Structure 1
C-alpha cells in the first residue's frame, strides 16, 4: 500500500516538473524569438508553404481525404495572415480568433479520421481486386499530428508578441516609437500563470516569489 502511495506521489511530482520544464522552455524560446523576429518570420512562412505542400503529397500518394486536406490547407492560409504584422498580434482580432478555432477543428477532424477509418461496404471488400487501406501506425499518427497539425500553431503562439494595453490603431505608433519592450505571447501567458500561483501560495502562507516586497 505504501509503495502505491509513493508511486502516486512520484507521478504528481514528475508531472509538476514536466510542466515547469515546458514553461521554462516556452519562456526561453520566446526570448530568443524576440531577438530574431525577421528570421523567425521567414522560417514560419517557409514552414507553412512546406506543410501545405506535404498535405498535397499525402492526398496524391497516400489517399488522404480531399475535403480534410483542403480544410487543412485553408487553415494554414489563415495562419499565414497572422504574419502580416508579425510579431505583433491583437488577441481580439478576427484572424487570431479564427486561427484558434481552426487549430481545434483541425485536431478534432483529423483525430476522428484516424480513430474512425472509412470501411468500404461488404460487396466492395469481397471483390477480388479490392485492396484494403493501409492503417497508419501509432508513430505515424503521432508524427502527423506533431508536425502537420500542432507544430505551426505552437510556433506561432511562441513567436507572436503582444503589447500591454495594445489597441489596433496603436500598432504602428508603437513600432515607430519603440518605447515599450514587446512581450512574447508565451511569456505573457507563463508570467500570468506564475503570478496566479504566487498569489495562491501567498494566501496559504507561503511566499515563492523571491522578488516580492523588493524595489526594482
Structure 2
C-alpha cells in the first residue's frame, strides 16, 4: 500500500513539472506572437477589456450578493486599462496611469478576498471571478511587455519626452544610440524567458 502511495506522489510531481513546462512554453509562444503582431494584439486586448467590462456590469445586475463596491472597483480598473491600452505597446512603468492601475489591482484583490471570506461561493466560481475580472487583463499586459522593447524611437512621442538632452548625451549622444542601449537592457517577460532558455539550454554550434 505504501509503495503505490509513494508512486502516486512521484506521478503527481511529474505531472506538475510537465504542466509548468507546458504553461511556460505557451506563454513564450504567445509573447512572441504579441511581439510580432502588436496591432492585432492591441485589438484582441481591447476586445477582452470590452468583454470583461460588460461581464462586470452583468455581474452587478444578476448577482445580487456582489457588493457595488467590488463591481465599481472592477469598472474603474478597466477604465484605467483603456488609458494604458491607448499607448500600446509603449507602457510607461513610472507613469501615473500605470502606478494607479497597480494600486487598483492590489485594492481589487483585497476587496475580492474580503468578499469571498464573508460570502460562500464554490471554489470554481471564486476561481472564475479572479481569472476573468482580476487577472486576465493584467496578464495580457504582462505578456505584452516584450513588445515594448522593440518600439522604434520616436523622440516626438510623448512617451519619449523623459529622454532629455542631458540624458541622451550621457547615454550615447543621439536618439538611435540611446535606443539601442535601452534595448540592450530589456526586462520584458520574453527577454527573461530567452535568458533562462540560454542559461538552461546551451546553444549547439552547427557543423557544416
Same fold (TM > 0.5): yes
- Tell me what 2:194 maps to: 191
| 2:104 aligned residue | 102
> In structure 1, what is the Cα distance between the partners aligned to 2:19 and 2:110?
25
Aligned to 1:163: 149
Alignment gaps of 5+ in structure 1:
118-134, 199-207
Task: Give the aligned partner of residue 60 of structure 1.
Answer: 61
Instruction: Determine the structure 2 residue equivalent to 1:82.
Output: 84
CA deviation after TM superposition for structure 1 residue 159, in Å: 2.2
Select the residue among 154, 163, 185 that pairs with 2:139: 154
For the residue of structure 2 that corresponds to 1:82, the secondary structure is helix
Q: Which has the higher helix share?
A: 2
* Deviation of 1:52 (Å): 1.8
- TM-score of the superposed pair, with normalisation by structure 1: 0.67
Q: Which has the larger radius of gyration?
A: 1
TM-score w.r.t. structure 2 length? 0.69
* Counterpart secondary structure, 1:56: helix
Shift of 1:51: 1.7
Asked if 1:45 is matched to 2:53, the reply is no
Give the 3-state SS of the residue equivalent to 1:88 in structure 2.
Answer: coil
1:39 Cα deviation after fit: 2.2
After TM superposition, give the deviation of residue 65 of structure 1 in Å.
1.0
Note the residue ranges of structure 2 that are not aligned, 5 or more in a row.
154-158, 164-174
Cα displacement (A) at 1:13: 2.4
User: Partners in 2 of 1:170 and 1:193 — Cα distance?
Assistant: 33
1:77 is paired with a residue whose SS is helix
* Aligned twin of 1:131: none
* Structure 1, 28-37 or 11-20: larger mean CA deviation: 11-20
Shifted more, 150-159 versus 108-117: the winner is 108-117
Question: C-alpha separation between the residues in 1 aligned to 2:162 and 2:148?
Answer: 10
- Rate the CA distance shift 1:80–1:184 in 2: closer, same or farther, 3 A: farther
Q: Which residue pairs with 2:124 in the alignment? A: 139
The answer for the alignment partner of 2:202 in structure 1 is 210
SS of the aligned residue for 1:100 comes to: helix
**Matched-pair contact (CA < 8 Å) for 1:158–1:184:** no
Distance in 2, matches of 1:100 and 1:13, equals 35
